[in-house]
Amino acid sequence: MKLDHGSLEDLCRGAAFLGTGGGGDPYIGRLMVEHAMAESGPVEIIDPSDVPDDALVIPTAMMGAPTVLVEKLPRGNEAVKSLRRLEQHLGKKAFATMPIEIGGINSTMPLVVGARLGLPVVDADGMGRAFPELQMETFAVYGVSGTPMVITNEYGDSTLIETHDNKMMEWIARGVAIRMGGAAYIAEYPMTGEEVKRTSVPNTMTLAIEIGRCIREARANHVNPFDALLELLPTTPYSFGKIIFRGKIIDMFRETRAGFAAGRAHIQGLDEWSGVMEIEIQNENLTARVDGQLKAIVPDLICIMDSETAEPITTETLRYGQRVTVMGVAVPPIMRSPEALALFGPVGFGIDEPFTPIEQMG
């Protein structure tokens, strides 16, 4: 499909929902894509099945703390430079780029690269949501090396990283990103078309468009957008969703620490919802508890949305006084395998609690 401006707006809204609070502000990403398409033409989104098995695909993204983007906007060509330098290192041109995660600005960064370089963007990603660390990807779970990778800042400074495993890649790249001002732009996990098909979460970009459109059309037709969304989810790989809380944000603690946006949100229940929900944050929403009782846990989605409009709210834009609705959503089966949970389930975040699917939560 050729991406148009209407679909781009829907994509950004849907990606903010799937990103469970993380991935950076999609509004910034939308402006970057619009600018790139105005200068270089439309972007083509292709199905993973249309990528030749021997083709080179290089995912592109922003890494760092989403809070940094509030003040430190990208120039717009950083990820392009990272991909070009990685191509040069590999001695081969990329057939396509793709997202590493379907969250926030990282759903749009490959679209900027695709527009600038005339490359198609694969309709898939490596997280099915957003995660804070680079090794937390289905690519890594199922055997793809994240390196060689390139990281570039707004001045064109770049670093080529090669490591013995993906955890070390994250550790070194995080240090580089911190020294580049807390946010930088990467090309990583170079892989074949066969590996794309085997290791990615498929069709998440078109799903984000569908989710964004669902919310927009429900509002336009004066239909409850939460009800519309809960009807849509069972028809997708994200097969289950439910509202787990409604209330008002009464306390927000947030800091940029070690290259991440970390913190906690406290939400006082309103109307029929009683108690206080605490949401733990590391770039994304990791756990949701009401008066200490667990209601949702990573990798399932914990989506904070405006109670009036159902607009998803990213972690860096949470504010005292906002009236919010919190939704829990099941992730696809590829993200719930024992191997996946070992990497980006609760244990991957040092949470001393087993994973319980949202369908089984009380």
The per-residue pLDDT for 65 is 77
129, 130, 136, 140: CA torsion to nearest 10: 50
Residue 235 CB coordination number (10 Å):
9
Q: Is residue 220 part of a domain?
A: no
pTM above 0.85?
Answer: yes
Q: Is residue 287 part of a domain?
A: yes
Same domain, 114 and 14: yes
Q: Is residue 216 part of a domain?
A: no
Q: Is residue 334 part of a domain?
A: yes
Domain range for 310: 225-360
The per-residue pLDDT for 217 is 97
The per-residue pLDDT for 203 is 97
Same domain, 244 and 343: yes
Could you tell me the CATH number of the domain that includes residue 301? 2.40.390.10
Q: What angle do CA 15, 130, 125 make, to 5 degrees?
A: 75
The per-residue pLDDT for 41 is 87
**For the chain, which residues score pLDDT lower than 70?**
none
Rounded CA separation 295/302 (Å): 9
DSSP line for 316-352: GG--TT-EEEEEEEPPPGGGSSHHHHHHHSGGGGT--
Q: Is residue 251 part of a domain?
A: yes
β-bridge partners, 262: 255, 282
Same domain, 198 and 262: no
Same domain, 114 and 252: no
Domains in the chain: how many in total? 2
Same domain, 12 and 114: yes
Same domain, 164 and 91: yes
Same domain, 80 and 31: yes
The per-residue pLDDT for 260 is 80
The per-residue pLDDT for 73 is 80
The per-residue pLDDT for 66 is 76
The per-residue pLDDT for 37 is 93
Count the alpha carbons within 13 Å of 235 in the hemisphere toward its beta carbon: 9
Same domain, 136 and 241: no
Q: Is residue 139 part of a domain?
A: yes
